[in-house]
Structure 1
């Protein structure tokens, strides 16, 4: 079986390929990227650009299974166009089974919502793929760790409300994706890849306080206050808009879902936010 990872040069793509390699077997691996030279052996590197559908058709040729990992593009409408192109290219290349990395809480949305791209991608996949599987990620625990590092100096973590989120390790997502790609019986399934518990903002602050050994509090702020703080930090407008969208999704409950899908697909226990933060803040 020949398995392709589209978006292979990103952190998640590299991790999926690493898990597939460690699992062994007779399968062949293909890493599709705008920088195919960065794809590590034994995987074959192929050039593929989400903005050039012809390159994707060539890169996906001969694959039995394909995982499409969305790009990090934040400009409104760009990522959804890229996902439509990738899924169309997979159909043109005759890929029998396409897996899509999506996000928790995906529902009908329009530009400029970040969720628009994932809604468009999921719908395009369901309509056109011969066989399809959707892997919806919860929020990266590592991304929250990075945010916490920037806030530790003031001893305060801020959010827009309770922010119940089942933070999940990037490596656990990769392990689950590898398990799904190698397994059978996943056609037509939508999985939610989550951590073992949904953590509130206050609980997050308590965990951090225990790890660093000093008081850390949690405060609720307004959207305007959030945007002002991000702007003062010098973040560009697209990142500012994305962070506001994400934080709003937290309080809307889109990431407040806990499943056993990581263990079900990978055979491994999903790591807790405490474990990730303990390693990151050590």
Structure 2
């Protein structure tokens, strides 16, 4: 058995490779990456794989029995990139394709979902046996928010009382490892997230504990939030994306707690404060 992990030098991919190495001989693991020189320390075979260069994918997937497709980070370009990966996996005779998607990708207003929905449709149409991992938000995504809040004493946002069932990248990676090394996961769609759905008041409380001083959450209107982000130096397009995501959170799109991730990994997911504190130390 050979398992190929795409995007293996990314923040999630590195955790997946490390987790696979704990369960399998290194010779059964391949890191498929755009820049092989960045993967020298992974301890597994490295192959070049560029989503924008399909010819590299055929070589990267040669002999693979399983492929983990970690979604690309080029928003707006992911559908053709993912199409190339699925086509290459099918051509290589891959018997199990695992994809990291978004919560309820086929039926949600989440701003990030359309490209994931399209990719899921491509995978289903390919005929390759698959598992869809619909990952909720990463706790580490709030590192910059926490840093700014510690500096100013205020956590700003426009998510209202919306909740986020986040987990750490290590938690989600462990879920992927469980699927890649386990049996009976073909054809399944997992809605993965943390065991607790927290509010931004909760987030401010955890940042307060980490910082040793009081941090308050200030809920803004969408327009106020956008203006504050632009004033802080974010490009208008990025600010608009952040605000749209907060509006999604306010609508409850990231609040679902399913328990499926903790069931897959055989332990509770990492608590918000613990995960955030670790991420801040690494930042």
TM-score of the aligned structures, taking structure 1 as reference length: 0.91
- Counting matched residue pairs gives 279
Q: Which residue of 2 aligns with 1:10?
A: 10
Using the TM superposition, give the Cα deviation of residue 90 of structure 1 relative to its aligned residue in structure 2, in angstroms: 1.3
Q: Deviations over 1:80-124 (max 9, x none)?
A: 2211221122112221110000122323579x9432111111111
Pair 48,237 (structure 1): closer, same or farther in 2 beyond 3 Å: farther
Q: Relative to structure 2, which stretch is displaced further, 145-154 or 60-69?
A: 145-154
Q: Which residue of 2 aligns with 1:91?
A: 90
Pair 243,171 (structure 1): closer, same or farther in 2 beyond 3 Å: same
Contact 1:175 1:266 in 2 (8 A): yes
Contact 2:148 2:155 in 1 (8 A): no
1:250 aligns with 2:249: yes
1:52 aligns with 2:53: yes
State the distance in 2 between where 1:129 and 1:32 align. Answer: 22
State the distance in 1 between where 2:244 and 2:54 align. Answer: 29
- Structure 2, unmatched stretches of 5+, are none
1:127 aligns with 2:117: no
1:70 aligns with 2:68: no
Question: 1:147-158 counterparts in 2 under 5 A?
Answer: 147-158=145-156
Q: Deviations over 1:38-58 (max 9, x none)?
A: 324542111111111222122
Using the TM superposition, give the Cα deviation of residue 168 of structure 1 relative to its aligned residue in structure 2, in angstroms: 0.6
Contact 1:96 1:129 in 2 (8 A): no
Q: Deviations over 1:14-41 (max 9, x none)?
A: 1100110012358600111111233245
Contact 2:111 2:248 in 1 (8 A): no
Q: Which residue of 2 aligns with 1:19?
A: 19
Q: CA RMSD in A?
A: 2.1
- Structure 1, unmatched stretches of 5+, are none
Contact 2:99 2:131 in 1 (8 A): yes
Question: 1:188-199 counterparts in 2 under 5 A?
Answer: 188-199=187-198
Pair 166,109 (structure 1): closer, same or farther in 2 beyond 3 Å: closer
1:214 aligns with 2:213: yes
